[in-house]
Structure 1
Amino acid sequence: MKEDFLHYVWQHQYFDKTNLQTEDGQAVTVLRPGFRHSDAGPDFPNARLQLGEVEWNGAVEIHLKASDWYRHQHQHDLKYDQVILHVVHTADEPVYRTDGSLVPVLALAARLPAGLLVAYEQLMEQTADKSVPCAPLLGQVPELLPTLMTGRALLERVEQKADVLAALYENLGQDWEATAWHALAAAYGFQKNSEPLSRLAKCLPLTILRRHRHDTRQLEALVFGQAGFLAEHEDTAHDLYVQSLQQEFSFLRHKYNLGGTGLAAHDWNFLRLRPANFPTVRLAQLVGLLHARPALFDALLTAADVPALEQFFAAPVPEYWRSHYRPGKPSKVPALGRGSMHVLITNVVVPLRVAYARHLGNPELVEAAVALLDHLPAEHNHVTDLYETLGFRHRSAADSQGLLALSKGYCTPRRCLHCSIGSRLVHPNGVAR
């Protein structure tokens, strides 16, 4: 048994409450179990209980054994002085607050329904070699439940991404345009180069780039220069265009005091990337976007549908980078593909719109933003393919994102009791929570 099981039992009050008493003989009435959270401090704050004749407001702490209170050092932590009830499976010893007062203990070992524990153990037995612990048991739940849970996981995933952008917005002085630039820059790294592109956005503010958006050569000099790709080497020794960019960057670096703030060529990842995904290619695409789309945030916010967003991302790259994967290396370079555009819509446009809609307090805009994913094709990878073989709906990017969130947030960390499917399988009366 894991402590998570007792959290589930207490949260939903799935135990026998007949003559409920603490270990020291006080009658217990649960008026409000509290609200489960994962932050530092007691497990269930905002609880309301009646112990004997006295009504208490405070927190409930959950452990398998009462002695875990000491193992976790709660006796020295002032945050745990607010605990009004210590709920455990086994009460093996009394526990005390920092001031020496006794913490009332409620033991649940003899009060757990046998069917509940058996169902829980049956579910946990599936975790040893299964990516989806409940896979063998899915036939026991209504067909609609996996779809509902996937939708819930999708919303959680989008909200988490929106939280990141909302924090970025605050850190950038509440500037939505700058937020869009930083979000796009990181996303154009497509995982392998997200970190260096994020650093580039920090050391090359949009306020500087805006001043040169009408001149692609100056934009190229700033972007590729700060990225560390204009350092002279044997491939560029006779490339007149790169040399002109070097000269332009030398002037602009001095003008904006950029010396020492940029990246170096070795900061970027080329290994095991197709040439079309080289960071130099992505930088050229960003330059094209900055030149052709002067108001990034407004355009991302107002594009009516997926085709309009695809048109936004289809901004032409500067001529030199249509025939060079790297400085001084001639070769034909394809334009940004639709698949990459859809990744950008999923990872930038939707969460950015959600963050802005929450900023405005407009839930309808949140729904409209998430609905964009229904109009993008489903993603296919080993995670989504696994869920599809198990019968989960997988028709659009909304389903794909939900399945990825389900895997990362619930199945892989074995958070089965937080999932509607796992809750349905464990609950003694088959009622999903």
Structure 2
Amino acid sequence: MREDFLHYLWKYKKFAFAKAKTTINTPITIIKLGEHNHLAGPDFFNARLSIGDQEWAGNVEIHIKSSDWYAHGHETDSAYDNVVLHVVWEHDIDIFRKDNTAIPTLQLKDYVAKDALANYTTLFENQSQKWINCENSISKVPDAIWNHWQERLYLERLERKTDAIKEILSHTNNDWEGALFVMLLRAFGTKVNGDSFQSLAEHIDFTVIRKCAQEPFRLEALLLGVGGLLPEDSVDSYVLQLQGEYEFVHHKFQLETEGILPIQFFKLRPDNFPTIRLSQLAMLYYTIPGLFQKLMHVEKLSDFYDILNVQASTYWDTHYSFSTLQKKRVKKLSKSFIDLLLINTIIPIKFAYSQYTGKEETDTILDFITAIKSEQNSIIKKYNEIRPKTESALHSQALIQLKTTYCSENRCLQCAVGNWLIGK
């Protein structure tokens, strides 16, 4: 038995509450369950109950056994003086406040349906042998519940990303263009170089980017130079030109490069080489003046692809790095890469900006994300084995949120799937 199961039973009235009585057989009428408290103190604040003929307003504390009240030292803690009902699974001892008045106790096991208890036990048994607790039963959840829960999970994930965006804004003096630059640079770094590219972005004030964006060669030299990617002993004429340009902007803007995380090439596919990605980003800011505002005003998904339809500078048509000449191939942003930019960076910042400006764009955001094809990774693959039909990026993002925030944390009782499986 877990205490959060008792919280679930109380919060959602998953017991025969109309028949509830205290351990001394006094009828209990629940007028208001109270507000669930996830911090220190009683578990539910501001409940209203009638116990016998007396109405009470106060807090509710929940334990597995009554004796946990003393095990946790509540009898000496003034935060628990206003507890009007002690809800337990098993009553094993009477408890008293500091003034020696008895606290009424409700023993829940007398009022919980056997089916609900059996479903709960089944859900959490053999955890070490399962990928997620409900892997053998998730396919039974009705589509209506499953689809609604996925939409809620996606919005929850967006809210979490909004918190991360606010943190970036706090370092850019609330400059949304600067925040987008940091986020885009991190995204262009992909999983391998995301942290390194973000540290690069955080070492360049966005005012410098604005000034250099009118000349793509200068912006490319700036990014490659600050990233430490310009070879020192090259005789390549393009490299020598980049070095000269970087020395100029480094001196002009007094750039600080100490503390930038090393950028890696190891285990990267050539299209994700940092040289290619930084050149593409430079061309994006050169090609699309006022990039932030253009992205924020997009109303059709196809417009995103038009804006992000850029390629690295012509030098990179025959190179992936400075060291080796390659067969000519234009290095454009692929649709799959643009999709990742939309999913992880552009749509989240558009959502956060709509909140900031007081505009309601949730429906538009949901339309965008639903029109993008699902991501493919180990989490999505595994969910598709136990409950197929992950079609859009809304589904894949929702499943990532589900796995990392609920399944891996055993938060089944806060999950719509777990709630349905226990109460069905």
Please report the TM-score for the alignment, with normalisation by the length of structure 1: 0.85
* Alignment of structure 1 residues 379-418 onto 2, 5 Å: 379-418=375-414
Name the CA distance, whole Å, in 2 between partners of 1:183 and 1:176.
10
Name the CA distance, whole Å, in 2 between partners of 1:262 and 1:246.
21
Kindly indicate whether the alpha-carbon contact (under 8 Å) linking 1:127 and 1:414 is maintained by their aligned counterparts in 2: no
Structure 1 residues 367 and 245, CA gap change in structure 2 (3 angstroms)? same
Which amino acid in 2 is paired with 1:370?
L
Q: Which runs of 5+ in 2 are unaligned?
A: none
Please report the TM-score for the alignment, with normalisation by the length of structure 2: 0.86
Structure 1 residues 392 and 244, CA gap change in structure 2 (3 angstroms)? same
Q: Partner residue of 1:113?
A: 113
Q: Partner residue of 2:146?
A: 146
Structure 1 residues 245 and 35, CA gap change in structure 2 (3 angstroms)? same
Equivalent of 1:324 in 319, 341, 346? 319
- 1:314 CA displacement: 2.0
* Alignment of structure 1 residues 86-97 onto 2, 5 Å: 86-92=86-92
- 1:163 CA displacement: 3.0
Partner-residue secondary structure (3-state), 1:344: helix
- 1:277 CA displacement: 1.4
Q: Partner residue of 2:217?
A: 217
Kindly indicate whether the alpha-carbon contact (under 8 Å) linking 1:86 and 1:105 is maintained by their aligned counterparts in 2: yes
Structure 1 residues 214 and 362, CA gap change in structure 2 (3 angstroms)? closer
Q: Partner residue of 2:263?
A: 268
Name the CA distance, whole Å, in 2 between partners of 1:26 and 1:93.
17
Which one is further off, 284-293 or 133-142?
133-142
Matched, 1:280 2:275: yes
Kindly indicate whether the alpha-carbon contact (under 8 Å) linking 2:136 and 2:386 is maintained by their aligned counterparts in 1: no
- 1:191 CA displacement: 2.0
Partner-residue secondary structure (3-state), 2:63: strand
Which amino acid in 1 is paired with 2:234?
A
Q: Partner residue of 2:227?
A: 227
Matched, 1:184 2:216: no
Q: Partner residue of 2:253?
A: 256
Structure 1 residues 26 and 144, CA gap change in structure 2 (3 angstroms)? closer
Which one is further off, 341-350 or 53-62?
53-62
- 1:26 CA displacement: 7.5
Partner-residue secondary structure (3-state), 2:35: coil
Name the CA distance, whole Å, in 1 between partners of 2:228 and 2:72.
49
Which amino acid in 2 is paired with 1:414?
N
Name the CA distance, whole Å, in 1 between partners of 2:335 and 2:369.
14
- 1:211 CA displacement: 0.8
Structure 1 residues 238 and 127, CA gap change in structure 2 (3 angstroms)? same
Structure 1 residues 301 and 106, CA gap change in structure 2 (3 angstroms)? same
Kindly indicate whether the alpha-carbon contact (under 8 Å) linking 2:185 and 2:198 is maintained by their aligned counterparts in 1: yes
Q: Which runs of 5+ in 1 are unaligned?
A: none
Partner-residue secondary structure (3-state), 2:202: helix
Kindly indicate whether the alpha-carbon contact (under 8 Å) linking 1:376 and 1:396 is maintained by their aligned counterparts in 2: yes
Kindly indicate whether the alpha-carbon contact (under 8 Å) linking 1:353 and 1:366 is maintained by their aligned counterparts in 2: no
CA displacement, residues 122-174 of structure 1 (integer Å, 9 cap, x when unaligned): 22226342324323334644343322322222222222223322443344333
Across the two proteins, how many residue pairs are aligned to each other?
Answer: 422
Kindly indicate whether the alpha-carbon contact (under 8 Å) linking 1:180 and 1:296 is maintained by their aligned counterparts in 2: no
Which amino acid in 2 is paired with 1:346?
I
Q: Partner residue of 1:123?
A: 123
Name the CA distance, whole Å, in 2 between partners of 1:37 and 1:340.
42
* Alignment of structure 1 residues 11-26 onto 2, 5 Å: 11-17=11-17, 20=20
Kindly indicate whether the alpha-carbon contact (under 8 Å) linking 1:181 and 1:296 is maintained by their aligned counterparts in 2: no
CA displacement, residues 182-234 of structure 1 (integer Å, 9 cap, x when unaligned): 221222222222211221121112111101111122212221222122362xx
Superposition RMSD in Å? 3.1
Matched, 1:313 2:313: no
Which one is further off, 111-120 or 96-105?
96-105
Matched, 1:350 2:347: yes
Name the CA distance, whole Å, in 2 between partners of 1:82 and 1:178.
50
CA displacement, residues 321-352 of structure 1 (integer Å, 9 cap, x when unaligned): 33332334433563221101001111112111
Partner-residue secondary structure (3-state), 1:324: coil
CA displacement, residues 50-98 of structure 1 (integer Å, 9 cap, x when unaligned): 4566655554343323454566666787766665544332344566789
Kindly indicate whether the alpha-carbon contact (under 8 Å) linking 1:358 and 1:366 is maintained by their aligned counterparts in 2: no
CA displacement, residues 366-388 of structure 1 (integer Å, 9 cap, x when unaligned): 21012101211222333223333
